[in-house]
Chain A
Amino acid sequence: MTPHDHDDHDHDHGHHHHDHGEDSELSETELRVRALQTILVEKGYVDPAALDAIVETYETKVGPHIGARIVARAWTDPAFRAELLADASKAAQPFGFQGKVGDHLVAVENTPDRHNMVVCTLCSCYPWDVLGLPPVWYKSFAYRSRVVKEPRAVLSEFGVTLPDKAEIRVWDSTAEVRYMVLPQRPAGTEGWSEEQLAALVTRDSMIGTGMPASPKGASA
């Protein structure tokens, strides 16, 4: 069976480029996942529509656009910035899916002297409520193993170079607390609206492996 033979072909987005060379194993995995879902439904544990609804929520509703709006608000509203840094779960509520954000969210602010990075060395803890599902690299063994020991080398692989004297502050989210980085507002964005600013806020800039996009080229 090829990845294109299965019966949910119409849901397929055609993104199989990461699956190269694993067709036979993948087919077995696909069958096992379908079997698992069949058992859940037959056992009466789940309404099948709810399985699709979970996937749809993460594909279309919860993602880094939420975090980007939070950052843009913090860049334009000093009182909100203070609230966010004091209690991010509370401050971020209005931006969350259905107007809610779970507990234990903490925002950490980059400054010219201090750069924050977020990792989970033990698993893949990530601020899902405001950034959605983590990217593959965040869950990769290379990132998880190295960022607590050689963050500058990791940053260089993202094309990021920091001043030699800047402190690097790595937050290993080992329990309950979920961190998001509040990046520095790019120069040259004076007078920009929240919406314009949010478009500059990349997912990686909220994890600490990237910087916001340059305002040059974006419409002011």
Chain B
Amino acid sequence: MNGIHDMGGMDGFGPVDSDESGPVFHARWEAGVMAASRVMGGIGAWNIDQGRYHIEMLPPELYLKSYYRRWLERTERAMVAYGYADAEEIAAGHALRPGKTPPRGKFTVADVPRVCRRGSFYRPATAPARFAVGDRVRTRNMHPKTHTRLPRYVRGQTGRIVALRGCQVFPDTEAIGQGENPQWLYTVEFNGLDLWGPDSDPTLKVSVEAFEPYLEPG
């Protein structure tokens, strides 16, 4: 979806506040919402792509609040959307009914290392990769209303495959409950001048990871 989250190339957000040497969390509630979110992912209540999609679907004025505030909004909404609590319980701040049985069961201390490490999204390939390193490709001019990992600023652009990253879960279908649908993933490199025009930095190259359905021969 062409949402507020897709920020590459936007202007107007001001300078970067690079003076960041503080603690891991700036308030205890940030730690609390991070942990609660990891738990819900860890028990299999929703997958990572569904979790991201629920952040993207937040109204822009909520999205633009702080990072962990977004996580809180997302987690409350996803709990309702996937049947792990209802709106009445969220409003009451207490369980009013028994919980749903999560796919991976209750989350315990033994599960902590698993969610503090990245999972694997590799899946067996069902077809040979269509492109090879060095191939020129063009990204599709596509504007799905649902989740996608192809940012707007690289759509309809010509680039070059610089790496194959294996066959992986396809977020565009996984986010909307249409299955893992594994696809080949590539790193595609673009010239800054192609993305941003002749007045831009001539020394810049930018890459994204792009799934095969995003690409056609360039």
Q: Which residues of A contact B (CB under 8 A)?
A: 3, 6, 8, 11-13, 15-19, 26, 29-40, 42-47, 49-55, 57-59, 61-63, 96-98, 100-105, 121-124, 128-129, 132-133, 135-137, 139-146, 148-152, 154, 157-159, 164-178, 204, 209
Contact = CB atoms under 8 A, between A and B. Distances in A.
A175 to B, nearest CB: 4
B109 A53 contact: yes
Nearest to B106: A44
Nearest to A60: B24
B16 A140 contact: yes
A45 B106 contact: yes
Contacts of B15: 142, 157
Contacts of A128: 116, 118
A137 B17 contact: yes
User: Interface range on chain B: under 10, 10 to 19, 20 to 34, or 35 or more?
Assistant: 35 or more
A157 B15 CA distance: 7
B30 to A, nearest CB: 8
A57 B121 CA distance: 23
Contacts of A61: 116
Contacts, number: 296
Interface in B181-201: 185, 187, 192, 195-196, 200-201
A17 B38 CA distance: 26
A129 B211 CA distance: 24
28 contacts: A3-B27, A17-B22, A17-B26, A19-B26, A30-B27, A32-B93, A34-B32, A35-B92, A35-B93, A38-B93, A43-B98, A47-B108, A47-B109, A50-B109, A51-B36, A63-B24, A132-B24, A137-B17, A140-B16, A145-B10, A145-B13, A151-B201, A152-B201, A169-B206, A172-B206, A174-B149, A175-B168, A177-B187
Given A46-B107, A51-B36, A139-B67, A13 B8 contact: no
